Amino acid sequence: MWEVGVIGATGYTGLTLISILKSHPHIKINLVTSNTYKGKRISEVFPLLRGIFDETLVPTDQDHRGRCDVFFLCLPHGKSMDEADHLYDNKSIIIDLSADFRFEDIGIYEKAYLKHRAAHLIPHAVFGLPELYRDRIKNSKLIGNPGCYPTSAILALYPLIKNNLIEGNVFIDSKSGVSGAGREAKLGSLFCEVSEGFRPYNIGIHRHEPEIQKEVKKYQDIGIRFVPHLLPMNRGILTTVYGRLKQPIDTENTIALYAKTYKDEPFIRIMEPGIYPDTRFVRFSNYCDIGLKTFDDGSFVIVSAIDNLVKGASGQAVQNMNVALGIHETTALTGLPQYP
Ligand SMILES: NC(=O)c1ccc[n+]([C@@H]2O[C@H](COP(=O)([O-])OP(=O)(O)OC[C@H]3O[C@@H](n4cnc5c(N)ncnc54)[C@H](OP(=O)(O)O)[C@@H]3O)[C@@H](O)[C@H]2O)c1
């Protein structure tokens, strides 16, 4: 049994991690933390856990060094870097769900976020997208779990950029459920601000744009434009990517390329021609569904769907943990999507 700590257990990603890890046969959760609810049982914060997981929350701002084999940091960016700096000992595995260790280039991080206070750890960090970086994750003690939008966009683009097939810029049009903003109270997440409407936000300035861009550029030197939207639903991301191929490839052959690229990937499902992803069919699961259509003039539309809290956050974090610990990658992650 490996002992695991969830630092910042009272948010949406923390709860999702606990839900997944409770069914993990090789894991015992021995630490859950919160500053706001310290001393309370986590089942008082999340009554769905009553009688199943009643661990008492201890303060996040305490010394937890060496207490766990794996620490998940479910904290806001900025706070995670301090916590990682405190915990990092090259023995425990640290998986950070914030943006603090997703960027190899500190300049890009600092332009999009804030001054990094644990820059000396960045060379030790791996971008935790197993489909692209599995071999590096295997040996890592510090994993920067990707953002939810970047997961959906990079997985949608990877077979094309890996083969250098795109001409010009691509437009990435993403729609997210409101849990993407976390559980902390914010004006923009209030029911009346979200329900009965649908809007883009942060066009050209969203912090996930540089994260997607730096990954795309590792494979093909093209530009991206990212437009996120907020949808009046609890969870899920649907991403549609528009662009043009250097040479037209028909839909069947493009789908065959995707199927070949992802043939050994347990969580990527490629749809047949004419079938497109739907957030309803990945809810509460670690799957990323991808469908696409190409046109005679070379233009293409690729659509991906994930659950932002599972493949976009905590499920992917457990997938990374499994890889890093050398246990079967799908352990505790094979639950069916929940529908309706
Ligand atoms: N939501 C998503 O879909 C999603 C997807 C991918 C990545 N992420 C990233 O994952 C991280 C967690 O997101 P979330 O959605 O779980 O957020 P959340 O629901 O707002 O929860 C945030 C957690 O961080 C703790 N916290 C907040 N400010 C803190 C501070 N100054 N010091 C110590 N603890 C603090 C809170 O604990 P207290 O009980 O002490 O207040 C809470 O447990 C964020 O970096 C987010 O960007 C989220």
CA-180 nearest atom, ligand 1: 3
Distance 25 CA to ligand 1 centre (A): 26
Query: Confidence band (pLDDT; 50, 70, 90) for 185?
Result: confident
Q: What is the three-class DSSP state of 4?
A: strand
**CA angle 156-132-3, nearest 5°?**
115
Which residues in the chain are classed under CATH 3.40.50.720?
A: 2-146+311-325
In the prediction, which pLDDT does 90 show?
Answer: 87
Amino acid in position 194: V
Per CATH, the homologous superfamily of domain 2-146+311-325 is NAD(P)-binding Rossmann-like Domain (3.40.50.720)
CATH T-level fold of 149-307: Dihydrodipicolinate Reductase; domain 2 (3.30.360)
**pTM of the predicted model, to two decimals?**
0.98
Which residues in the chain are classed under CATH 3.30.360.10?
A: 149-307
Query: Confidence band (pLDDT; 50, 70, 90) for 242?
Result: very high
Neighbours of 200 (CB within 10 A): 13
Write the pLDDT tens digit of every residue in 75-115.
999 999 999 999 999 899 999 999 999 999 999 999 999 99
**226 strand-pairing partners:** 172
Longest dimension (CA), the chain: 63
DSSP 141-193: SEEEPPPHHHHHHHHHHHHHHHTT-EEEEEEEEEEE-GGGG-SS--GGGSHHH
Give the C-alpha separation, 93 to 201, whole Å: 35
Query: Confidence band (pLDDT; 50, 70, 90) for 117?
Result: very high
Provide, rounded to the nearest whole percent, the portion of the chain with pLDDT above 70. Answer: 100
Binding-site residues, ligand 1, Cβ < 6 A: 8-14, 34-37, 60, 74-77, 79, 97-98, 147-148, 179-180, 182-184, 308-309, 312-313
